Amino acid sequence: MRTLQKLAIAGLTLVLCGSAIAQGGIFGQILDATRGKTGVAGDLLDKAKPIIENSGIDEPREIEIGNEFAAVLLGAKPLLNDPALQRYVNTLGRWLASQTERPDLPWTFGVLDDVGFNAFATPGGKIFVTKGLLARMRNEAELVGVLSHEIAHVVLKHHVNAMQSKAWTDVFGDVAGSKLKGNFAEVRGMVVNLGKDMLTKGLDKGDEYAADRVGVVIAARAGFDPYGLPAVLQTLQSQNAQDGNFSLLFETHPSPTDRLDNLDKVMRNRFESTNGSQGRSFNDRFKEFSR
């Protein structure tokens, strides 16, 4: 396990991970978890800066960053205490990931004890869904669609590309070189604000569309109905964007209608509904892992 001091790096890594987390105050929780676990603000920034500014994040570093981020995130949002459900989601996710161009990443899937409707990925293959999302899945194909979308973000290195973008390198360079270096409280506030700003913007819309397109291919390769993700997007169309469980998801992603339109262009006449998983109840499948 990483030292507590190294875990603090993930506080900065978090602001670059654009998949939605519904609870608006999660940044405060995560950064509270790091407070007091590093000497001074300058240590945190000095350690984070090389990661952010490195122009070539190779796979080992990508995995390391993802592990550190996941460790801090889990300190704020623990895993749901349901071994059978965790085993089911992890087994399903690993099967999907094995169908991709990056099957050898240390893929790990988990369910967070959070009522919000969310799923997100960290660099290197750590993927999480919330219990609130699972409660709204009508069948296994829908869950496969969500997991495959998040897997696609990792396969396409969307988070790594965001870390390497000049805009965010410049932002963190300014913070690291500022007079705030010795004031943890002020730096913490700035990092929280930067993180919230990043979450309100999310990943690039093109990245979300790409993850949708690649996600349906992953689902089909794995033998599942590729229309699971479109079904989830249709469900989201009927949700209130102001609902606290969904609001940040709507703010950080293209509208469900736009995503469906984009998928329709690539899926029309290219996929046939597969047999076996579309109508299969999520609860029926889960029961197999509860025995």
Confidence of residue 170 (pLDDT cuts 50, 70, 90): low
pLDDT tens digits for 130-139? 999 999 999 9
| 37/2 Cα distance (integer angstroms) | 12
Confidence of residue 118 (pLDDT cuts 50, 70, 90): confident
pLDDT tens digits for 14-53? 433 333 333 333 434 433 443 443 333 334 444 444 544 4
Instruction: Supply 233's token pair.
Output: 């997007």
pTM of the model: 0.72
pLDDT tens digits for 209-260? 999 999 999 999 999 999 999 999 999 988 876 766 666 666 777 889 999 9
Confidence of residue 65 (pLDDT cuts 50, 70, 90): confident
Domain ranges of the chain: 57-290
Task: Examine the pLDDT at 198 and tell me if it is beyond 70.
Answer: no
Q: Which of the pair, 186 or 291, is modelled with greater confidence?
A: 186
Instruction: Identify the burial level of 98 via C-beta atoms within 10 angstroms of its C-beta, where 0-12 means exposed, 13-18 middle and 19 or more buried.
Output: middle
Helix (H, G, I), strand (E, B) or coil at 13: helix
Which pLDDT belongs to residue 134?
Answer: 96
Which pLDDT belongs to residue 29?
Answer: 44
| 111/78 Cα distance (integer angstroms) | 9
